[in-house]
Structure 1
């Protein structure tokens, strides 16, 4: 894969304009789909657990969502090359937005898993297409900042919608959250239909495939280092509501806010000084935040730990994908977006499912400590990347 690797572009004296109309449409689509996604992300596991199956059901709810997401991300770049951005993203919006309307019919595992599997297909389309479009539409000299701005766009729903969904479920019931999540995703369908039709001609020739990207060590190392923090993020959104009780909504809010702010900062820093040097401190901060959840001290320690985890996780999000984009030409942007999202969503699903089993065996505090320790195993990857 050495023929696709490029050096990072130099920083010019005069930076080109960042925003454009197509980029604004991409951000609108990302905001709506992520709002619909995050409203339900912690609520569906709670809904599944309400059927009486407990933590195992909660883990399967997240695991099924991420399983189909990972499977779909392998083929989304090929679908975009064949059919174009517009119809593929429009189909993804429908797959993400319509299935939650079936959840009020039953809290049984069959319905929950089926809805998660279909929503995962739509989520895969939304994140891969949006990621590739952002990388294509922003100037290369400001890619880190553009990715940081994209992180704010998708981070604001995490800041607001993730804790809001938990709060609404407790005060108005699950059905209200399911309808709101569906409406938020479907509302951006007109914007998706107004996006550019196809990738640039130069991006569709000799495009780096997803499997090729997975075989490329220069891409795989930063993606694997990021996956360690993404697995912990899946644990947080799935199990923090059950383990932290009344402090969960505030802790999720702080974690998402810290991740959004640090993701934007990391983009600006990376454009000037290089994104790769941020991977090691970002992973250390995220691991320390996860381990802090096992400490005594109640809500104050929980919120502080989530602030630290969020800061490290946001740095890892921006730095890892910026490093990967810098190492490929435009023809590889779709593959980079898919590989990065594969590491994100696959690790989230595995983290949620695996932690449920560990917590059932050893309890939440020991499982949180174990998670932090496992994350440290990825430090050599972060250093080499």
Structure 2
């Protein structure tokens, strides 16, 4: 039987748009705090609000976006999101106070939440059912690449001033909009869209996706400490030069492993992939906590990249597969909203814990948290019997 095509024009275009969406997020994540301190003379204690306000807006709008997609269609919500993100990117040139910047971040967060929800729902429709694991794995890689390239370019451009920084940001937003205009989704007639809207009427969450989303949020608690504080930890441990290579190694391992892990998910099932991936994630965090040389520090990056970089898209694939096809947009919104909540709470509490214990102890504790996730996954899997969003029947 001939395999259904994955690398279609529309799949590639949606993947590019998703890359630029997350590139902008990570690009501003590292540059806006510096801008706020140097240009707006904001206090360090208020800097955390720049990201918190953004994520609050994204979490708030995602469930509503999933419902809107049932009524108006995914592409309409996608274009609206791109319009908001484009407008927000241009308005950064005029954010001359912290209050104005925070208001803009909330507005931008609304567009980001809508865009990521629509992107995930559109790509789920474009990937053949028999290649869901492989396709979502490649799609997730766009986020990982953005996480590496965004901060690197942002910190480089910051040396040339705020105008250059915001110009790059606006250019990327406009490129994403231009690419988005060429996307063509399978047509859905008005009767079908009306039936879909009736099924999702009054629903802000896709119930079948909640268990696996909670599991992703649980792992997000540990991951938030890595993304937020690994550079600071490296500096304290004397690995300042190696720190710049941490996410490069992370991304390189993802690029090498992704063609295999996604296919194995489709061929052998979720459990065969997720259990080893969680173990790799835990081992990488353990090595990070005990690293005394730059080599061990970078090996931990590779293991974390393999472990978390496989676990996250696998869980997102399950969330989409267990939902009825008309509710895939709602399932994507549910998964990302719950995960972002866990990630956001993790960033807050991890900072408090690190201040009391230090980063080495923090990452050691994260190792045990991740290992506990194995038991949690097993428990959910046994209780679900394939009905609660952990076990999923493989197709193809």
Change (3 A) 1:208 1:284: farther
1:21 equivalent in structure 2: 9
**Correspondences of 1:7-156 after superposition (within 5 Å):** 13-48=1-36, 51=41, 53-54=43-44, 56-101=45-90, 103=92, 109-156=98-145
Q: Deviations over 1:231-274 (max 9, x none)?
A: 33333333233332433321122223334544443211111111
1:382 maps to 2:372: no
Pairwise CA distance, 1:316: 1.0
Match of 1:235 among 209, 215, 225: 225
- Which stretch of the first structure deviates more once superposed, 189-198 or 265-274? 189-198
Change (3 A) 1:164 1:44: same
* Residues 294 and 366, structure 1, Cα contact 8 Å, conserved in 2: yes
* Residues 35 and 181, structure 1, Cα contact 8 Å, conserved in 2: no
Pairwise CA distance, 1:64: 2.2
Change (3 A) 1:363 1:102: farther
**Separation in 2, partners of 1:107, 1:242:** 28
* Residues 222 and 369, structure 2, Cα contact 8 Å, conserved in 1: no
Change (3 A) 1:184 1:220: same
* SS, match of residue 187 in structure 1: helix
Q: Deviations over 1:326-366 (max 9, x none)?
A: 22231121122112211332222222222222222333223
Pairwise CA distance, 1:104: 6.2
Change (3 A) 1:229 1:59: farther
Q: Deviations over 1:108-148 (max 9, x none)?
A: 65344333322221111121111111111121111222212
* TM-score scaled by length of structure 1: 0.83
Pairwise CA distance, 1:161: 2.3
Change (3 A) 1:145 1:113: same
For the pair shown, which has the larger CA radius of gyration, 1 or 2?
2
Pairwise CA distance, 1:83: 2.7
Match of 1:161 among 150, 153, 167: 150
The answer for unaligned runs of 5 or more in structure 2 is 382-389, 391-396
Change (3 A) 1:59 1:263: farther
Change (3 A) 1:148 1:195: same
**Separation in 2, partners of 1:174, 1:292:** 38
- Which stretch of the first structure deviates more once superposed, 141-150 or 193-202? 193-202
Pairwise CA distance, 1:367: 2.6
The answer for unaligned runs of 5 or more in structure 1 is 1-12
**What is the root-mean-square deviation in Å for CA atoms of aligned residues?**
2.9
- Which stretch of the first structure deviates more once superposed, 65-74 or 114-123? 114-123
2:215 equivalent in structure 1: 225
- For these two proteins, the number of residue pairs brought into alignment is 368
Change (3 A) 1:286 1:137: same
1:366 maps to 2:361: yes
* Residues 33 and 47, structure 2, Cα contact 8 Å, conserved in 1: yes
1:182 maps to 2:177: no
Change (3 A) 1:339 1:93: same
* SS, match of residue 108 in structure 2: helix
2:244 equivalent in structure 1: 249
Pairwise CA distance, 1:307: 1.8
Pairwise CA distance, 1:107: 8.2
* Residues 84 and 199, structure 1, Cα contact 8 Å, conserved in 2: no
Change (3 A) 1:82 1:313: same
Pairwise CA distance, 1:58: 4.8
* SS, match of residue 254 in structure 1: helix
2:253 equivalent in structure 1: 258
